[in-house]
Every structure is written in structure tokens, then in C-alpha cells.
Structure 1
Amino acid sequence: MIRKVLRLVPDPYRGMIPLYLATIVVYALAQSTAYVFLMPLLDALFQGDLVTAWAWTAGIAVAVVVVFVTGYRQAVQGLKIGTGMMHSLQTRLGDHIAALPLGWFGSATAGRVSRLISSSVKDAMGVFAHLLTPLVTGILVPAGVVVGMLFLDARVSLAMVISAPLLYLVNRWGQGVYSRAEARAHTAAEESNSRVIEFAQAQPVLRAFGSATTGNRGLQNALTAQRRVGRGLVFASVPGLVVFSFLVQLTFIALVYLVISFASGGTLSVPAAIALIAVSSRFIDPLNQAAELSTAVRGAANAADRITELLETPTLPETDAVVQPRDAGVRFTDVSFAYGSGERVIDGVSFTVPAGTTTALVGPSGSGKTTLLRLASRFHDVDAGGIEVGGHAISDYSSTTLMEQFSLVFQDVYLFHQSIAENVRIGRADASADDLARAAEVARVDEIVERLPEGWDTNVGEGGTSLSGGERQRVSIARALLKDAPIVLLDEATSALDPQNEAAVVRGIHELTRDKTVMVVAHRLATIRHADQILFLDQGRIVERGTHDELLAAGGRYADFWNERSRASGWHLAPASDAVDAAATEAVR
């Protein structure tokens, strides 16, 4: 178990571990030495041999001094290693998460990462900060007592040795039960954390439908499951501790019985018997302490497993080569892709987006349109085929260089718990005030800023909760305008916006895509009509391609799609009386 945690210690602190462990060993052996010296000390005192008694007293005094000095040193060293380990792990986890494929992040990611960085890292560093010393002393002190007793009374030492394997097996059984229960508890905690975050972010939806307190069944189920496995964790820890404690006390009773028997039979002096009973208690107490701490150490080992699992999650392979794009073209060649071990969502797709042109991706829901945008920006690596940007495979670019080529405007807009200015500047941190103002004017973010009490410095809340969906989309457009990348990946989200916000967003999109290479998941008829190339997808394949006029003339899937969209765009609400009259007229016919 300890080895799992040791592997997570950063290199600058790894060299401290041998001295730290040696200090703990000396600390434990000094304690056991003081206990063992008690028997000859009492024997000498009862016999009136003061010279010998003083000699043993001096030995105990030296052992006590060693205990104090090494106890202080190991505490300082353990705390230094633990705090250094915590800082290093949080930094490593943060850097590793930043290098993971964007597709790794999902609905449960926030709860998992939060649990790891806060709870699991703390559990792991606690091994050095306050768990390892009592655990090691709980083993070495009894072992030292047993060895020391060989020179004083081998019969009692033998009895101690006989009890050790049984105690070890019982403790190991109890820890196995606890470990499995702890793993279930951690999984349940991750799920409930994710659901709580989701519940907080989804308040507008829940309240809109009157379900703020009763509608989130997922959260209720997650909390119920966490309570259930939490109780299971308590019950799982009880049997092992109870059985182990019972055996420990039984061992102590057996040792006391042996000592009294030896004293009654005349083979052991009364002072020696008193000392042996005291020493036996010091053999027993550390074992109890070690058993209680071993559950915490097991939990820390499980935490180390989870941290290691995340750190071993493959990141996107990075190249050391310095590659720059020759143009802003994009090429897909026989690309196939599946999420995890599921069915393919992209199957043998090939197409080219020449620099400076617009390609619209059209098709039914689930046909793979958004996935193509995400593959182009390397949210995931493809399973087969290849994607080129600017004449080079996207895997030939560093992540930074690749992402410099793209401005991404997707349907899900996330704003940080910061000011509007800081959220827009994510597009380009070193942008001047004039650049910021121009981007805001084009995306009409300036209208939002003017009505807010603190203007640009207004905090938008977590996820941008103080802004409407259309206003968040405007900020997203302003970000992309400020970045001014040569390729725009656009998943339009204007269908659910009110006319004012839609007009602002469309204006921003037009400016954003001017003279750029554009791949757009098209929702608006105007966008589809003016695209240089239209790809109609179904079940991850391109089933039709061409310009708007060419596809309409072909009379295929795209033509049906266009006609349905055209009819839907002309719908309107009629007064109830008109609707009734129309229905009656139709019935007469």
C-alpha cells in the first residue's frame, strides 16, 4: 500500500525519504528499548542493587531522549514531504488535465477532478504528514519488544511471536473488506459531486418548469446512493476492527496468564512478572493503533490509485517539430471515429475545405456534424484516416500552434466567474483596449456592457448565469473576433434566440467569417444557401455533396431537407377563432 503513495512523491522530496524512514525506525526502536529495560530495572530495585538499577535508569533516560529528538525530526520531515507532495500533485494534475484531449471532458469530469484534487491528494499526502509514523511504530515497537524479550524471557517472547500471524491475517481480511467498500464510496461521491454541480448550473431550467426542489431525480438518486454506500463503508470497517481488537485483547489476557503462571510456579520473580505485564501492554497497544490507522492508509492507497490512473490517462501525443501551416485549408481523408468502444459515428469521411471557402455540414441529428468540427480541432485523435490543416497532418502541429489556427464558436457557451472584459480577453490576452472595443462593437457586446452597473468590470457569475443565452453567445463571438484565427469552426446556435440577439449574433458571425475558411454546422437557411460546399451527412457518412443549387436540382436528401426547413420557417400562430374556423372549413370539405 505504501509503495503506491511513495511513487507519487516528487523528485525534490524523494531524497528525504530514506532519512525520514530511518528516523522513524530509530524512534520506534528507542521506544521498545525503553520498555524492555523496565524489566531488569524493576528486578534490580527489588533486589536492592542500586548500582545496577541506576545503570538501567540511565539506559531508559537515553532511550527517552532519543525518542524526543527523533520524534520531533520525523514530524518535521514528514510534514515537509507531505506538503511538498500535495503542492506537486495538484500542479501535476492540473498540467496533465490541461494536456488531455478535449473530448475527455464530459458531464462527470467536474465532480471527478474536484474530488481528486481536494480529497484524494489530501489523503495521499496524509500518509507522510501524520499516518506513516504511528503505523510503523505500531509494528516496530511490538517487534522490538519481542526481540528484547528473547534475552529476558524467551517463553513470553515465543508466545508473542505465535500470536502475530493470526493478528496479521485478520487485519488483512478486514482491510480487504474496507478497501472494496471505500472504492464504492468514492465512486458514489464523484457522482453526487457531479450531480450537485449540474443541479446548480441547471437552476434556470428547473425553476422554469417548477422542478427546483423535486425535478432533479438524478441528484436525489446520487445523494441516496452516497448515503447508502457511506453506511456500508462504516459497516465494512467495523467487523475487521472488532475481530482484530478482540484477538488483541485475547492475546494480552493470554500473555498475562502466562506471566502469572510463571511467577506462581517460581520460575519468574514478582518484579519481573510486573515488568512483563507492563511490557506486554506496550506490545498490545501499538497493534491496536496500527489496526485503526491501517484503514486510513488503505484509503490513501486507493486515493493514490485514482491519482495514478488519471496521471496515466493518455494525453494527446505532442511533437517536437516546428511546423507552420502553408494556408488555411482543411482536408479529411477516409476518417473514421468512434467514442470509446461504441459504434462508429464517423465512417470513412473524405472532403476538402479550400482556404477562404465555407463548407456547411447538414443532416439529421446524430449524423456526426459536430463530431467533424471537434475532430478538426483535435478534441480526439481519429481511429483511422487523417486530417490535414494547412497542408500538414494535425498531429504534426504542437497543440498551441494547432489551436492558433482555429476560432471555435459552439452551441454550448461557457463564461468564467469573472468580468465581461476578462471573458472576452480569453480570445487574446494581450489585446489592446481598442481591439477589445472593436470586437465588442461588432458582436454588440457593448450594448450589454452599457446596461450593466459596473460596465466591463461586471462579474457574469459562474457559467455566465447573469447573462441570457443570446448575450453569452455574443460574448463568445467577441472572443472569436478578438482571436482572429484563419479557420472558423461554427456550430450555429441562433435558432433559440430572440430576434434582437439573433440579429446581433448573425452580424458578428458575418464579420467573423469574412475572408476565413469556415466549417459550419448549419441551422439557418441563409447560411446553407451561400455556402461554397454543402455536405449532407447521415449515420456518419457523406451521402450528398455539392452547392445549394446543385443539390436542389438533384432532388435527393438535401432537397427534402431544404423543403422541410423552408416550410417550417413560414409557420405562425393564428388566433384561436381562426384556427377553429379553418378546422370547420376543412371538415365540410
Structure 2
Amino acid sequence: MAAGKTALGTILSPIGGRLRWAIAAQAVAAAAGVVPFIAIAELGRVLLDDGPDRTSDAWTLAGIAAGALLVRLIVMLVAGGISHLADNALQFHIRRSLVDRLGRVPLGWFSSRNSGLVKQAVQDDVDAMHHLIAHSMLDITTAIVVPATSLAYLFWVDWRMTLVVIAPLLIGLTLYSATMAGMSKNLPQYDRAMGRINGSAVEFVQGIAVVKTFGQARRAHREFAEAADDFATFFLGWVRATQYSKTAAEIVLSPVAVLLTTLTGGALFVTRGWLGAVDLLPFALLGIGLTSPILSLFYASYELRIARTAAERVTGILDAEELPVPDAPSTPADNRVSYRDVSFSYDGDQPAVTGVDLELAPGTVTALVGPSGSGKSTLAALLPRFWDVTGGSISIGGTDVREMSLEDLYSRVAFVFQDVRLTRDTIAGNIRMARPDASLDEVRAAARAACVDEVIQALPRGYDSVIGEDARLSGGQAQRVSIARALLADTPVVVLDEAAAYADPHSEAAVQDALSELTRSKIVLMIAHRLSTVVDADQIVVLDGGRIVERGRHAELVAADGRFARMWHAHERTTRWQPHGDAAVVSPSSAVAAGGIS
């Protein structure tokens, strides 16, 4: 909770001045809202008095009440306007800061966090703070100022009767404190229970095709039902634990109970001669208004807790470690890539890559192969600085990539992912991401080279078609769009995460043609999942346990009869055609294994 308070204070600091003005204005509006009731009480006392100036005093009081209402209306509008403008400014500031920070964190940061976390921070958590800033803070101010102003007046009238009137308020606050203590204790468990329900529901919906195919729909539904039942049991226990204190508090703080207490105490005071009958009117009018803000404070405290949690998550992203950039970047002499004794580990865990030395010469293709978890993807991702090495160095043209500006680095290195990511933009906009100033002719030339121009031209609006709206592409077509983007960038170094691995047979040939165009005369570092794609590579690097265990050309490695040779022979066996009657088919085991080494 302390961390949430600190985080919220940090988040609100840019608009602290405007919030103070809004709260001050709301305090004036709240105090002005009490004045008409005071005026009515005083009007009653004037009219019941036998003094000679009753008419003049009555009109004066009526004017004060009307003026106070007008002041309340104007100042309340000002307070609301200031708070909403402050909220708008804060949302803009936070979202811009989040996007700016996300643009400067290592690209690998996103690999360990799903898009839901980022979306929650940028959208949901910022929205969660809106109600606190624009409404709850003003509600809290009103809930404090109205009773304080009323009590100040009532104490002025008669302090003894005021103590009688505030008795229900004190008792109700005590009872509500017990309820709130239960809430603070159970809300974390409530969040976990709701998270379990949401998770099981999403898992059930997303996996419905699989679970139904294998006859497990009943089991998947049972897991969701159990999560819902557990939540119901917990919530019922929570409600039962607080129902008596909450019900008692609501009864004690109800207007009827307060009015009954006021009139009973007032009758006793009047009959004993401690209070004039006319002086009971202020307590009857203002007393019932003392307890109504308690409910507002109750809900505002809940909004405050939500905002603190949201601020903690937002601050967590804003405090994410940035990718270090040099103050005086160096420029490489050429584009030759060198790995020197490179080591890397994730968060200090077991090293993913250890002691790797590798040279990538211009015009050559280097393929990284090895079993799953051998370090292929990590080693390739270190070149475009998805992460920074924890030992050794990676250089381009003799310059450490950490000493280059990011603009220079990304103008030299392109990364084509196996998992295609296209933004909700036009086809042309997605291709232009590499070069926003590129002309349509240049975009089309890149698309033609990527073998996807005809596909785009067939869309309803051609290159102006929007991804997800009137442009719905297959996996192979989307991959060719991403290759067109890389072609337009025309970087001298290309890192490929075997972009054709998930393409359907019809699209694979087109994707391979596009890749051939992309990699012509470039330095290519390729992550190979299928050994058939590395036969013509200039250099094959075999990784195991984060270390290089073999390297060389295909024929050399097969002849060496080492690790790669065993992988290659296994690959040949799994892709061998088996006779079946008059037709040739792939055996089921071969069909599964045809994807090669994962």
C-alpha cells in the first residue's frame, strides 16, 4: 500500500498545482452549499421572533441564500472544469511518457511481457485514475467540508446539542471502520479470485476448439465452474463477516435515525430549558446532512485504492530500464559483423549464450542451427540489441553496437520475424514503416520484389486497404508484406528467424523468392528450424547449450560425422517418402517431424 501511495503521488505530481486549485474551488462550493440551509434556519428563527425588523432581515437572509447558491454553481463548475482539464493533461502526459519509455526499452523487454500488460497500463490503468482525479477528489473534498461547515455553525448555536447530533456520526464511523478493515483484508484475495475466473474463462474460450476436438469440453468447463464456485464461497464469507457492521452503520447513519436522535435530544433539551424551541430548527435541518457524505467517502476510498494499484503498475513501466545509448555515438567503418567472446543470461539466470566467437562477412549467409533452447534466437537477437550482451562484445565495422546510435544501428540491421506483426494501418503504411518518406512507387517496387503486389492490388482499396478491416491476409501473404518492409529499408545486414517456417506450401515458394531478393548481396544471419533451408549457407553454426559445437559448410559438417551430421541424417529419415499402394505419402511421424529441429 505504501508503494501505491508513493507511485500515485509521483504520477499526480505534474498536475499537483491544478488539483490544489480544483480542491480549493470545490471547498468554496461545498461551503457555499451549506449557506442556504443556514439561511433557512436563521430565517425560521427571525420569523418566529417578535423583533421589529423581521421583514428586512428575512429578505437579507433570502438574498444571502440565493447568492450562495449562485456562488456554489459557478465555483463548482470551475472546480469540475479544472479537475477535468487536469485529468486530460495527465492522461496525455502519462500516455506520452509510456510510449516514450516503451520506445527506449530494449526490444527484448516485450518478449517477457504480453501485450495485455502494456495495454492495461496505457489504456485501463490510465482510465482507472480518471475517476479519482476528475470526480473522487472533489467528492472527498465535499464530504469533508460540508460536515465541517455545518458543525462549525451548529457549535456556534449550541455546543451541547451539537454533541447529541454527531453521536450517530461517530457511531456510524466506528461501524464503517470495521467494514473497511474487512475490505482492506479481503480485497487482495478478491483480485486473485477474479483473476482466476478471468484466466479460466479466457483459457476456455481460446482453447474451445482443442478441448472439444479431444472431448475435454466438460473438463475445461469444470475448471471455470470451480473457479466461479470458489469465488462465490469466498465472497459469501466476506459479505457474512461484514454484513452486521455494515447494516448497523447504514441504519445508524440513515436520515431517519439521525432525525429521530436530533428530535429526541432536542425535546429533552427544550423541556429542560437548555435550548430554545426555535434553536432546535438548525439542528433538524443540518443534522441529517452530516451523515450523507460517509457513503461518498466509502466509495471514494475504493476509487483511491484502485488508482493506487493502477499508478503502481504504470510507474513500474515508467521505471523500466532503458536501453543505454551513447552521448557521442561512433560510426562503423563498414558492415562486417563480429561476435567476440559473447555471453548473455536473462536476469542473471543460467547463461543462454557463452563464449561465442563469430564472423559475418559481407555477401555471406550464416545459419544458426541446434535443438530448442540451444541459444539460436538469443544469439541472433543480440545483434539488433533486443538485449545487450552481459559479456564480450558485438561489433559492426569495428564499432561496438552499444557505441552506435540506435538510428544508425537500425539503418544497418533489419530483423524479419517468424511471427509477423502488422499494425492496424494501410498496407502502404505498414510497408513504409521502414521509410516513412518512401513514395508509392518505391513501396510498390518493394512489394513486387516480395511477390505480394498482385495480392495487394486485388484488395478492395489496394495499398490503401487497412489491416484488420478490408485487408485480411493469410500468414504467407502477411509475411511477404513484412519482407517488403525489410526490402524497402534496404539494410546491409539482415537477421532472419526462418520467415517461411509457418507458410503454407502454396505461399512458401513465394516467400522463399522474396527472401532471396531480400538477402541478395547482404550479410545474412539466419535462425534455421528446418535443415533443408541451410544446405547452401556459406557458414553453418551448430549451437548446443549456448555454445558453438560445430561450424562449417553443409558438406564439410556432414563429412565430419558429428552433431550436425546426426541431425541431418535424422532430418533425411523424417522427410523420406514412404510407398503406400500406388501413391507416395508421408508417414504420420514424418509429417510431424518435417518441421525440422525446433
Q: TM-score range by the shorter chain?
A: 0.7 to 0.9
- Is the contact made by 2:496 and 2:527 (CA closer than 8 Å) also made in structure 1? yes
1:37-92 deviations in Å (ceiling 9; x for gaps): 55444333323236375355555444334322322221221222222222333333
Would the alpha carbon gap of residues 41 and 136 (structure 1) be closer, same or farther in structure 2, given more than 3 Å must change? same
Shift of 1:27: 1.8
Gaps of 5+ in 1: 581-589
Please give the secondary structure, in 2, of the residue aligned with 1:100: coil
For residue 528 of structure 2, the aligned residue among 522, 543, 549 is 522
Would the alpha carbon gap of residues 557 and 482 (structure 1) be closer, same or farther in structure 2, given more than 3 Å must change? same
1:554 is aligned to 560
Please give the secondary structure, in 1, of the residue aligned with 2:103: helix
Establish whether residue 309 from structure 1 lines up as the match of residue 312 from structure 2: no
2:438 is aligned to 431
- Is the contact made by 2:428 and 2:440 (CA closer than 8 Å) also made in structure 1? no
Using the alignment, how far apart are the partners of 2:448 and 2:422 within structure 1?
A: 19
1:113-169 deviations in Å (ceiling 9; x for gaps): 333333322221222322222221111211222233332222244453882863673
1:115 is aligned to 120
1:47 is aligned to 49
Would the alpha carbon gap of residues 476 and 298 (structure 1) be closer, same or farther in structure 2, given more than 3 Å must change? same
Establish whether residue 475 from structure 1 lines up as the match of residue 477 from structure 2: no
- Is the contact made by 2:258 and 2:288 (CA closer than 8 Å) also made in structure 1? no
Using the alignment, how far apart are the partners of 2:218 and 2:458 within structure 1?
A: 34
2:551 is aligned to 545
Using the alignment, how far apart are the partners of 1:243 and 1:107 within structure 2?
A: 49
The letter for the 2-side match of 1:285 is: S
- Is the contact made by 1:32 and 1:141 (CA closer than 8 Å) also made in structure 2? yes
1:356-413 deviations in Å (ceiling 9; x for gaps): 4332111112211112112221222334443333323323233333222212122111
Would the alpha carbon gap of residues 561 and 290 (structure 1) be closer, same or farther in structure 2, given more than 3 Å must change? same
Corresponding residue pairs, total: 571
Establish whether residue 124 from structure 1 lines up as the match of residue 140 from structure 2: no
1:585 is aligned to none
Establish whether residue 513 from structure 1 lines up as the match of residue 516 from structure 2: no
Would the alpha carbon gap of residues 179 and 101 (structure 1) be closer, same or farther in structure 2, given more than 3 Å must change? farther
- Is the contact made by 1:486 and 1:516 (CA closer than 8 Å) also made in structure 2? yes
1:159-181 deviations in Å (ceiling 9; x for gaps): 53882863673464255247536
Of the structure 1 ranges 499-508 and 220-229, higher mean CA displacement relative to structure 2 is found in: 220-229
1:3-35 deviations in Å (ceiling 9; x for gaps): 755543474x54323322211222222334444
Using the alignment, how far apart are the partners of 2:32 and 2:235 within structure 1?
A: 36
- Is the contact made by 1:174 and 1:241 (CA closer than 8 Å) also made in structure 2? no
2:596 is aligned to none
Would the alpha carbon gap of residues 388 and 506 (structure 1) be closer, same or farther in structure 2, given more than 3 Å must change? same
- Percent of pairs with identical residues: 32
- Using the size of structure 2 for normalisation, the TM-score is 0.82
- Is the contact made by 2:41 and 2:282 (CA closer than 8 Å) also made in structure 1? yes
The letter for the 2-side match of 1:176 is: S
1:583 is aligned to none
Using the alignment, how far apart are the partners of 1:121 and 1:231 within structure 2?
A: 32
Establish whether residue 282 from structure 1 lines up as the match of residue 289 from structure 2: yes
Please give the secondary structure, in 2, of the residue aligned with 1:91: helix
Establish whether residue 137 from structure 1 lines up as the match of residue 139 from structure 2: no
Please give the secondary structure, in 1, of the residue aligned with 2:428: helix
- Is the contact made by 1:428 and 1:483 (CA closer than 8 Å) also made in structure 2? yes
Would the alpha carbon gap of residues 314 and 194 (structure 1) be closer, same or farther in structure 2, given more than 3 Å must change? farther
1:293-317 deviations in Å (ceiling 9; x for gaps): 3323332332222222222222323
2:72 is aligned to 67
Of the structure 1 ranges 121-130 and 228-237, higher mean CA displacement relative to structure 2 is found in: 228-237
Would the alpha carbon gap of residues 139 and 171 (structure 1) be closer, same or farther in structure 2, given more than 3 Å must change? farther
Using the alignment, how far apart are the partners of 1:325 and 1:412 within structure 2?
A: 30
Would the alpha carbon gap of residues 157 and 310 (structure 1) be closer, same or farther in structure 2, given more than 3 Å must change? farther
**CA RMSD of superposed structures (Å):** 4.0
- Is the contact made by 1:36 and 1:149 (CA closer than 8 Å) also made in structure 2? no
Shift of 1:576: 4.2
